Amino acid sequence: MNRKISIILTIAMLLTGCCGCAKAAVSGQSSAGASAQEDSNAGYITVGFCQVGSESDWRIACSNSYKEEFTEVNGYRLLFADGEGKQENQIKSMREFILQDVDYILLDPIVETGWDAVLKEAKSAGIPVIICDREVKTEEDGLYECWIGSDFEKEGRNAGKWLADYLQSKGRDQEKINIVTIQGTMGSSAQLGRTKGFGDVLKEHANWTMLGQESGDFTQAKGQEVMEDFLRKYHDIDVVISENDNMTFGAVNAIQAAGKTCGRNGDIVIISFDAVKTALQSMIDGNINADFECNPLLAPLVEKDIEKLQAGESLEKVQYIDETYFDDTMDLKSLITERKY
């Protein structure tokens, strides 16, 4: 909202004794409420963050990272909108942030497509948008400032390469290997990239067969259901690729409930993504063989980008965060204590 209109509305509200409106929550806020809020935000940079939801440990660590970084002590007012796993909720909160005339919008898009209209609205309102974690595919260029997150395809490829080396080390590189994949939320960058990256390595191994691929939507409960389904359908699974740790926890439960074993010395090799603390503990316990890290601590990097924009500097359009992997040959006990997520 134009600053002059905002001041006029604020004065009008003071005259009519309507200051209570300033406490309006993010959702369902009137434009008069928005202007009062803007006034109370004076001196702070207001940041509206459209988060995916709270489906996984990774996501919780990601949300905490924003809440710890964008504090009043650091000069920010963070408006946090939980999309509860639905794109329409995320679009709605973006529109509310536009109405509130926040200084920046941060979008972690649940899926890659369907953002053009709302990104254009933000652009017309003069509000810079930073895309974090998952990516967007737009028809037009220039609808956002930059994207910052993980190289999901590389994570998937690294998982495939790790499996090839592992099988070779066990003398199983010529054996017929049956694989199933528990995929993340379909159409999300994390799912698309990990599926593609692993799929590329699969094509190089004629003795590897993908028996089935199904989405567990990145949650433990659905991951468990999908694994139960796989175990009913296929009786000779050698490897499970699980596109996040929470689905892996569900898969391990399903495997053990079916009387099978997995991980170190088990019947089924388990490869996971994220490498959150609980998963590393599960690897120490022998249930997971390898875990490809995805770093959820994006907020400090996003904050640096905002500082640059504030200083009128330009940004790298694509920014990858550093990542590694872990397997059960490593000394994870000492590592786990230092780990933030």
Site residues, ligand GYE (CB under 6 A): 55-56, 58-59, 133-134, 150, 190, 218, 244, 273-274, 294
Of 65 and 150, the one with the shorter C-beta distance to ligand GYE is: 150
Q: Are strands 325-327 and 290-293 parallel, antiparallel or unpaired?
A: antiparallel
CA–CA distance, 272 with 93 (Å, rounded to integer): 32
Q: Which of 264, 278, 281, 305 is nearest to 149 (CA)?
A: 305
Tokens (6 digits) for 325: 């992997």
CA–CA distance, 263 with 171 (Å, rounded to integer): 17
- Least spacing, CB of residue 164 vs ligand GYE, in Å: 23
- Helices assigned H by DSSP within 170-276: 189-203, 220-233, 245-257
- Helices assigned H by DSSP within 19-139: 31-40, 57-69, 87-99, 116-124
Of 10 and 244, the one with the shorter C-beta distance to ligand GYE is: 244
- Least spacing, CB of residue 72 vs ligand GYE, in Å: 28
Do the beta carbons of residue 47 and residue 108 sit within 8 Å? no
Of 38 and 133, the one with the shorter C-beta distance to ligand GYE is: 133
- Least spacing, CB of residue 134 vs ligand GYE, in Å: 5
- Least spacing, CB of residue 200 vs ligand GYE, in Å: 19
Number of alpha carbons in the 13 Å side-chain half-sphere of residue 76: 24
Tokens (6 digits) for 279: 């998963």
Of 261 and 278, the one with the shorter C-beta distance to ligand GYE is: 278
Of 153 and 274, the one with the shorter C-beta distance to ligand GYE is: 274
CA 134 to chain centre: 6
- Least spacing, CB of residue 88 vs ligand GYE, in Å: 18
- Least spacing, CB of residue 162 vs ligand GYE, in Å: 17
Element (H, E) at 131: strand 129-132
- Least spacing, CB of residue 195 vs ligand GYE, in Å: 12
Cβ partners under 8 Å of residue 165, min gap 6:
none
Residues in the chain: 341
Of 33 and 156, the one with the shorter C-beta distance to ligand GYE is: 156
Element (H, E) at 178: strand 177-183
Tokens (6 digits) for 123: 């652009």
Of 106 and 294, the one with the shorter C-beta distance to ligand GYE is: 294
- Least spacing, CB of residue 150 vs ligand GYE, in Å: 6
Of 65 and 244, the one with the shorter C-beta distance to ligand GYE is: 244
